[in-house]
Structure 1
């Protein structure tokens, strides 16, 4: 056990060094349970639920390893039915070894009816992002890591979503870069660059007691490969969800959720699918989500 722990610790440090920057190479918001937690990706998604809600989602890699990547997301939505709108906040907190990023956003979304069953929602979000990279803690004698990085930037974003009771399709830019601040180079500041997202899902009836929801989340950052998530979830009696997720960076996840009108609890286990993961050391990720709905709660939320 000690040998395995030591190998994992060294592997994590190697990812930091050879990857130049952890946050610089990863897309934000690519969690497994995205299909039910989209407000931080596209604030227009808040219009799909007439109830208010508060939710928390946490991710953790390398359980038991100090400095392992972890993320925590908090979201609160408040409907404004009198003007067919919604407002709220979301907070993101990411930690990986010597890197720490925190972001706070407030948003406002407005929906308009297009046909008898379809709607279009438009949303704006604004906030602030802060990044700290204490690279000198790795090796102060190495020129590549001797300088720490401090970045604080204002943030603005927008999103649009076409939706009905059966589907949603959305485009969003939740983090639109306004200008550069601080001393970090352009390569170091990839985590503060503009990200683009496409989202979609459809809720189909398999039988009276079974529903199926395929969903996708596609993300793009200039200079990085397109990253696509594809998932499928079966809902049994609208109370139990069982699903699978696959990402094009060779990661897969199994998902389980327990659903009630007011409360929802979800769990996912993500693992690598490449040949060096299967049968070897696996970069597994545990993800837990908890949400509470209040106000106009008339039925279980599946979409």
Structure 2
């Protein structure tokens, strides 16, 4: 399931809805069930359009645990909005902090290595991302780069022998198109291309909707997993959405893991539509003026 704000700050205040909305959401991913220390991730976000300055502002928090490694990011997001054609182009940065930690007590090497920490090590750095996002009535497309600052983290106990970890750049190209099959059924195929250190991975999905309330889809992540996705909207004006996906592992990990689970919950507040003032009717004993 896709969270545009986390991958592309250009989508701040725009999103993938038909109209700009104020949105709050959370996503929880439980990866590789059955493997001790497997990744567990949580994302929290909120963003809103500000029409007076043609902009959107937001915030997102990402928390990830994978064995002895822990990563936490807290970012403020901004995008400037330009109306182009029948859509909106958002361009902007995301600035925040990126904390990486290593719990040395969980490391159990066969041989004693003095470089490895014997306790917890943690370092905090500034983080910068940027992106562009275009949302039209029927489609969206985005380009973004995460972790533009080349930060290095040292988890070694020995100052003379640093153990460096560098957070790599992430580049994302995203796109999707909305088809109205019938009055009740719609279909939205989408694609994500991710590049990290010259390694490119593709993800594709197709989500079908019924009456803009119930959703079912399939997804594929290159050489990694195939997924089944379901979701539904609820509350007045379909303001809330719940989604769930299950990943079938396609690599060698399928012998030790039963798969991965992902849960999504969002709440949206539609942008208010300002109506023109009503005509003032003046009544007199002899005339009725409008």
What TM-score range do you get, normalising by the shorter chain? 0.7 to 0.9
Rate the CA distance shift 1:113–1:277 in 2: closer, same or farther, 3 A: same
Report if aligned partners of 1:204, 1:213 keep a CA contact under 8 Å in 2: yes
- Give the TM-score of the pair, scaled to structure 2: 0.81
Kindly name which structure, 1 or 2, has the bigger radius of gyration based on alpha carbons: 2
- Give the TM-score of the pair, scaled to structure 1: 0.78
Pairwise CA distance, 1:254: 0.4
Q: Does the alignment pair 1:170 with 2:147?
A: no
Q: Give the structure with the larger strand fraction.
A: 2
Pairwise CA distance, 1:106: 0.2
Q: Secondary structure at the match of 2:5?
A: coil
Identify the match of residue 156 of structure 1 among 118, 128, 146.
Answer: 128
Rate the CA distance shift 1:64–1:226 in 2: closer, same or farther, 3 A: closer
RMSD: 2.4
Deviations 1:32-55 (A, max 9, x none): x01xx2111002223244221110
In structure 1, the gaps of 5 or more residues are 1-32, 299-303
Q: Does the alignment pair 1:270 with 2:241?
A: no
Pairwise CA distance, 1:181: 5.0
* Aligned twin of 2:211: 237
Rate the CA distance shift 1:99–1:120 in 2: closer, same or farther, 3 A: same
Equivalent residue runs for 1:126-205 within 5 Å: 126-139=95-108, 141-143=111-113, 146-147=116-117, 149-182=121-154, 189-190=165-166, 192-205=167-180
Q: Distance in 1 between matches of 2:107 and 2:155?
A: 19
Q: Distance in 2 between matches of 1:277 and 1:65?
A: 9
Q: Distance in 1 between matches of 2:179 and 2:162?
A: 44
Q: Distance in 2 between matches of 1:68 and 1:167?
A: 35
Pairwise CA distance, 1:202: 0.6
Equivalent residue runs for 1:1-303 within 5 Å: 33-34=1-2, 37-46=3-12, 47-48=14-15, 49-63=19-33, 66-115=36-85, 117-139=86-108, 141-143=111-113, 146-147=116-117, 149-182=121-154, 189-190=165-166, 192-223=167-198, 225-260=199-234, 261-274=238-251, 276=252, 280-296=255-271
Q: Distance in 1 between matches of 2:151 and 2:76?
A: 20
Q: Secondary structure at the match of 2:147?
A: strand
Report if aligned partners of 2:78, 2:92 keep a CA contact under 8 Å in 1: yes
Report if aligned partners of 1:243, 1:255 keep a CA contact under 8 Å in 2: yes
Greater mean deviation of Cα atoms: 76-85 or 209-218: 76-85
Aligned residue pairs total 259
Q: Give the structure with the larger helix fraction.
A: 1
Q: Distance in 1 between matches of 2:180 and 2:89?
A: 23
